[in-house]
Amino acid sequence: MSQTGCPVFTTHVSDPMPAAVGLKVVEIIGRDRLAERAQVLGQRLLLGLTNLQGRFGCIGDVRGRELMLGIEIVADRHSKTPAPELSDAITSRCLDLGLHTNIVQLPGRGAYSGLLPPLTISEDETDTALASLDNALSDITK
């Protein structure tokens, strides 16, 4: 307890182990050129999501950066009317197909379904994720 009677909590301030882990992570990111990989695979993912947007009117927007990308699910692309129920159904179907998406729903702003793969994702895994999303969109919107 502190002098005021409140419990004292600390973090890992000055703890060498988390610092060593952080340094190792930074080393691996540089050694394996994971930042460059995120750019290359991010372009592949962005192209795939943009192609899906061209085919499915419920994708109101594709946005993000590198491998942190996502789609906004709307009832109508032109008015961008939020479609939370549709988004929930697509997210659920994606999960059934083995694709976990990070769904964020903001009141009055619709739903944004994020795809946040690991930096180590392969080209084949990226294509599989896009195919699963394509299947989910097809299944739900038919």
Q: Is the pLDDT of residue 105 over 70?
A: no
Q: Choose between 142 and 136: higher pLDDT.
A: 136
Helix or strand (DSSP H, E) at 35: helix 34-55
pLDDT tens digits, 50-69: 999 999 999 999 999 999 99
Which residues does 126 contact at the CB level (< 8 Å), separation at least 6? 41, 44, 45, 48, 117
Q: Which residue in the block uniquely carries the two structure tokens 């789609």?
A: 71
How far out from the chain centre does Cα 21 lie?
Answer: 25
- pLDDT at position 81 is 87
- pLDDT at position 121 is 92
Q: Is the pLDDT of residue 4 over 70?
A: no
- Which domains, ranges and CATH numbers included, belong to the chain? 33-141 (3.90.1150.10)
**Rounded CA gap, 112 and 96, in Å?**
19
Q: Which residue in the block uniquely carries the two structure tokens 């952080």?
A: 22
Q: What is the mean pLDDT of residues 85-105?
A: 88
CB 57 within 8 A of CB 140: no
pTM of structure: 0.80
- pLDDT at position 50 is 97
